[in-house]
Amino acid sequence: MKFRVSIAQINPKSGDLKGNALRILQAIRTAREDGADLVVCPEMSLTGYCLDEKLLMNSQFLLENKLFLMEELAPASRGIAVVVGFVDFDESNVGPDDRPLRFNAAAVLQDGRLLQVVHKRLLPSYRYFDDKRYFQPGDEVEPVTIQAKAGEVRIGVLICEDLWDEPYTLKPCRIYREKGTDYLLCINASPFVCSSPGEQDGKRFVREQLVRSQIERHGIPIVWVNTVGIGDNGKNIIPFDGSSTAHDSRGNLVAHLPLFQEAQQSVSFEEGRATNVQPPVFDREKEIYEALVMSVRDYYQKIGIFEGVLEAVSGGIDSALGTAIAFEAMGPDCLTLYNLPSKYNSQQTQDAARQLADNLGVEYKVIPIQGIMNRIVADFESHLHPLRQSITLENLQARIRGLIMMAESNDRNALLLTNGNESEIALGYATLYGDMVGGLAVIGDLPKPDVYRVARYVNRRWGEERIPRESFEMPASAELKEDQTDPFDYEIVGPIISDYIEKGASPAELVREFEEGRLKEGKYPENVYRSYDSASFGELASSLYLTMNRSVYKRVQAAPIVVVSERAFGFDLRESIINGWEG
C-alpha cells in the first residue's frame, strides 16, 4: 500500500506560540499540496524545545499552547494527518512544585480531531537536556491508526530519547513492533555535534547508526524529523542541525533533508519501501562553519532587538574567522569592523586587519587607544599610586578596547561578537571586562587548531584568500607588550584541553594514553611523541589542568558560547568556581 509522508524540518522560536503555529500551518498546507497522507513536525515544535523555567511553570503559557493546538492546528488537519510536538499538562494531577504535571508530548491530528497524545517515555538528564527536571515520563506505547489515501496505516510516535532505548528497561520500538505498527515516526530536538578531526563520528552519524540498528531489529521504516535553528539555556547557544532522514524497512536511506536550514520534503513508501538517496558529502570543517553561521544569524534574528553586528579585529586568526562567520551570516551591510591599536600592535597585524575588511567589502574603522591609555595611567597614578605590575598595563589595554566597543554597541544598538577560542577561554588567557565583552562568543567552543582548520575552509569555500595569508602565518600574540607571543603550543595544548572538557579526562589518564601511544590520531599532531617524553607531557597536562580550574571565575562571567562539540564551557559543563582538587 502506498503511503506518502511529508517531513517538515522547521525552525521554531522558543515561546513564540503564534509564530510557531504559523510555521506548522504552512507545513500542513505544503504537505497537502504535495499529496502527502501525513506531515510530521519536530519535538516541541509548537513551543520551541529550549524553554526557560518561567515558561514551563507558567500555567497561562501551557494553556495557550494547548489552545493553539486545538483551535488552530487541529482544524487545519482536514484531509491530512499531522504529528506535532507540544507541551501537555494534567490540571487534575499536581506535582511536587504545586503545579500541574507536565509532559513533553506529541499530538496526532486528523480531520479536525485529536486522535492521540503521546507522552515522551524516556527522559534524558545529561548535558543541557533537563527533561527529568520538568516533565513526567509517559508509560503507554500504543500505535494509532490514521487514514491514508490508499487505506489505513498504523503509526507509532517516538519522541527523541524514546529511540535511544539501549540503557533503559522500557523498549518503545520493540513494543510498537509487537503491536503491529507499520511506520515509526520519531520527532526530535537533537543538537549538532561535530566530528573529530579525520573521523565521521559526529552526532548525525551516530543518529544514522541508531536508526539503522532499530530497523535491523524490528523491520519497521523510521521517519526521523529534527528541528533546525538555535535554542539556548542562558549560557550556551545550541545549534540544531536538521538533517532529518527517512529509512525504509530494509534500512535504506530514502530521504535526507539539508543541514542548517528549514526544509520540507515528501517521501513515498510502498509496503514500507522507497527509493534510495545518497547522503550529503561529508566535510567536517564545512559543517562546523555552517553551524556557526546559522547560529549567529538565528541568534540575531530571534532576539530581534539589534540593528547591526560589530567585530573588533586584530589581524589575528581568531577575529578573522569570527568576522568571516559574521559576514556570511549577516552580509556586509549589517557588519562593521574596528581595529583599536596601541603602540604594541605591529604594522603587520594592522595591515592584515585592514586587508580582511577590504577583501569582504565591509565598513572598517580605526580607533587608536594609546592616547587614552596614557591619560588613564597618568590619572590613576596621580590619584592612587604607581602601577606595580606589567599585567595591569596589559589588561588595561584590553579593557579600554572593551569599553569603547561596548559604548559603540550601546550607542548603535548593535550586537558585539567576541572571538576568544576554547583554548584561550580554558586557560584564562583573556581579559575579564576586556576582550571577553560582547553578546555572543562565536568560536568559544573551537580549540585553536580547529580555528585554523575552519579558517582554511573559509578560503576554500570562496576560492580565494578572503582571510589574509598573514593571519595564518604570523605568530599568535595578544600584542599587549613588546615582543609578546602566546605562551602555548596550541597544536598540543588544544587537544589536551578538549579532552578535559569533552571526555572529562584527568591528567593521569592522558599521561597513560601518551605512554601507551593511544592519544587520538588526527586530533593530536604526529610530533607529540617526538616533542615530549612522559615526564614533560605529564608536567604540561598537570599545569594546564590547574590553570583551567583556576580560570572558572572568568568563564562564568563570559558571553554565551555557541556549542559545536561534545561538551562546551557554559551550562553544558557545569563548573564550580571553588575547586580544591589539583588533579
Q: In whole angstroms, how far apart are CA 409 and each of 29, 373, 415, 437, 439?
A: 41, 21, 6, 11, 10
DSSP code of residue 162: G
120 is catalytic: yes
Q: Which of 13, 50, 120, 311 is catalytic?
A: 120
- Looking at residue 524, the DSSP 8-state letter turns out to be B
Active-site option among 13, 41, 50, 160: 160
Query: Which one of the listed residues 41, 43, 50, 161 is annotated catalytic?
Result: 43
* Known catalytic membership, residue 160: yes
Provide the CB-side half-sphere exposure for 580 (13 A, CA). 0
Q: How far apart are the C-alpha atoms of 110 and 76, rounded to whole Å?
A: 9
C-alpha cell at position 284:
567536517
Burial 7-17 (b: 16+ CB within 10 A, else e): bbbbbbbbbeb
Nearest-angstrom CA–CA distance, 572 and 126: 9
Q: What burial letters (b/e) apply to 338-348, b meaning 16+ CB within 10 Å?
A: bbbbbebbeee
Contacting residues for 502 by C-beta, under 8 A, at least 6 apart: 565, 566, 567
Find out whether 253 and 35 touch, Cβ atoms under 8 Å.
no
CB atoms under 10 Å from CB of 396, counted, come to 21
Strand 222-226 relative to strand 183-188: parallel, antiparallel, unpaired? Answer: parallel
Angle at 238 between CA 235 and CA 243, to 5 degrees: 175
Amino acid at residue number 68 = F
Instruction: Give DSSP secondary structure letters for 224-252.
Output: EEE-EEEEE-SSEEEEEEB--EEE-TT--
Q: Is 457 helix (H, G, I), strand (E, B) or coil?
A: helix
Grid cell listed for 567: 561538551
Active site members? 43, 120, 160
